[in-house]
């Protein structure tokens, strides 16, 4: 199985650039990336993204924290484009499982990207609620789990195994820390991995020999030493 690469970004110029790359099969965003990109109006900014990328999946996240407001936002976001996946968190800021909203939106045949998932137990709870026809992405945060000393790999293995019963469900490796995560995601059988732009560019350079890397590394040292005009 091929692991699809999505680009995790909100800057419009970078979306234009990476939308042209064949290696990139979709885009993910979140409120933090939107803020970093300078978005002031969430709706108008999201529509600018969708105007650039209208033929690949784009995940746009709700930012409400309660059920009623979250549903209202999700219903609105869903109308912005046929390629939109509405991104909803597995739990709100109080730690309350958002199962009710996940089930309601799934029953309305709204494509979902369920985010901030960390464990196979959370995946299991999600799978118990959804149907077997409406597309669902389950985003498991590998890097953030690793940052706390926890190994995310067993959670992926269990989640991927459970998801095999659902042809409409894809497991996504989120929170990438290095290019090697792409190879890990492929080996595990993840359907998707979402990656920052700079890391995607590094992946495009996969295949270099150790000798080539040694040569390039020393060249970089040489260039910097000359620029600094070092002398001993």
Catalytic positions, written as ranges:
87
- Which of 163, 101, 174, 175 has its CA nearest to residue 135? 163
Q: Tokens 């669902």 — which residue? A: 136
| Residue 40 CB partners (closer than 8 Å, separation 6+) | none
Q: Chain centroid to CA 71: how far?
A: 21
- Which of 52, 25, 36, 21 has its CA nearest to residue 201? 21
Quote the tokens at residue 188: 């595990």
Measured CA to CA, the distance from residue 51 to residue 45 in angstroms comes to 10
């Amino acid at each position: 199985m091929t692991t699809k690469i999505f680009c995790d970004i909100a800057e419009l110029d970078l979306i234009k650039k990476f939308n042209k790359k064949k290696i990139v099969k979709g885009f993910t965003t979140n409120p933090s990336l939107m803020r970093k990109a300078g978005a002031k109006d969430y709706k108008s900014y999201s529509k600018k993204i969708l105007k650039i990328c209208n033929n690949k999946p784009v995940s746009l996240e709700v930012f409400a924290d309660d059920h009623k407001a979250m549903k209202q936002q999700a219903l609105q976001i869903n109308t912005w484009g046929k390629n939109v996946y509405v991104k909803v968190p597995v739990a709100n800021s109080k730690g309350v499982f958002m199962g009710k909203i996940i089930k309601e939106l799934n029953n309305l045949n709204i494509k979902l990207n369920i985010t901030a998932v960390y464990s196979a137990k959370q995946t299991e709870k999600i799978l118990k609620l959804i149907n077997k026809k409406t597309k669902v992405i389950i985003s498991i945060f590998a890097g953030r789990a690793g940052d706390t000393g926890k190994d995310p790999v067993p959670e992926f293995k269990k989640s991927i195994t459970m998801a095999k019963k659902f042809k409409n469900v894809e497991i996504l490796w989120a929170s990438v820390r290095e290019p090697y995560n792409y190879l890990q995601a492929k080996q595990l059988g993840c359907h998707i991995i979402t990656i920052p732009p700079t890391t995607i560019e590094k992946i495009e350079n996969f295949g270099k020999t150790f000798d080539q890397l040694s040569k390039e590394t020393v060249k970089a040292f040489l260039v910097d030493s000359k620029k600094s005009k070092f002398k001993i």
